[in-house]
A and B are shown apart, each in its own frame.
Chain A
Amino acid sequence: NAGVTQTPKFRVLKTGQSMTLLCAQDMNHEYMYWYRQDPGMGLRLIHYSVGEGTTAKGEVPDGYNVSRLKKQNFLLGLESAAPSQTSVYFCASSPTSGTPPGELFFGEGSRLTVL
């Protein structure tokens, strides 16, 4: 019963390095999301996808890129990491939005530190 799986769980980068976070879900959900959480703050939406091959910007998209080549996978990329991107990243998925709205199913999070 995997649900939403994120890899890696932890990563330390140097400023300017690049990396990709992988999110995989096995619930056949159409919608997938990337959120970030900073200390003492709520989750903020980075990018989301409403289906395979689609992506859209959320609240804080700058410095990130995403791809959804397969329905079950949603990748978050940092091309040139900055210390401001030190955060915990959560991937989530939900069934097709509509009636009724779907709740979010979250992964366990990926803790990224940029030195």
Chain B
Amino acid sequence: DQQVKQNSPSLSVQEGRISILNCDYTNSMFDYFLWYKKYPAEGPTFLISISSIKDKNEDGRFTVFLNKSAKHLSLHIVPSQPGDSAVYFCAASGYTNAGKSTFGDGTTLTVKP
């Protein structure tokens, strides 16, 4: 029973356009959500997070939206750049220990010049 799902294994967008990566979760106890970015042969790096008391968090070109009633979150990248090409992992956890996160399987984003 996968508690965090990223249903799109891959996404391809044109440079300058918007990239939207989606994530669904089933455990209503999750109240903190994070996105990580991973390049080949490197460890994941933290990108952006959101707590369940918010519905939006923005950091530069990256915005995460949370819809608690639908148990759905999305990561928007605007504008997309070739350097954004990577695997993006959605993760969810309880608020008190965000390190004990449950990860989705990842979405490979390719931004074409």
On A, residues with C-beta under 8 Å from B are: 4, 31, 33, 35, 40-45, 48, 58-59, 90, 92, 94, 97-109
Least Cβ distance of B48 to chain A in Å? 10
Give the CA-CA distance A101 to B51 in the complex, in Å. 9
Number of A-B contacts (CB under 8 A): 75
Top 3 closest pairs, chain A to chain B, by CB? A101-B98, A106-B43, A42-B103
Q: Report whether B41 and A42 are in contact in the complex, using a CB–CB cutoff of 8 Å.
A: no
Q: Report whether B95 and A103 are in contact in the complex, using a CB–CB cutoff of 8 Å.
A: no
Q: Is the interface of A mostly helix, strand, loop or mixed?
A: loop
Least Cβ distance of A43 to chain B in Å? 4
Q: Report whether A108 and B103 are in contact in the complex, using a CB–CB cutoff of 8 Å.
A: no
Give the CA-CA distance A40 to B104 in the complex, in Å. 10
Give B69-99 interface residues, CB cut-off 8 Å to A.
89, 91, 93, 95-99
Give the CA-CA distance A103 to B97 in the complex, in Å. 10
Q: Report whether A40 and B9 are in contact in the complex, using a CB–CB cutoff of 8 Å.
A: yes
**Size category, B interface:** 20 to 34
Give the CA-CA distance A109 to B43 in the complex, in Å. 6
27 sample A-B contacts, Cβ–Cβ < 8 Å, listed by A number: A31-B97, A33-B99, A40-B105, A41-B106, A42-B4, A42-B6, A42-B89, A42-B104, A42-B105, A42-B106, A48-B99, A58-B100, A90-B44, A92-B43, A92-B99, A97-B96, A97-B97, A100-B51, A101-B95, A102-B99, A103-B98, A104-B46, A105-B46, A106-B36, A106-B45, A107-B43, A109-B43
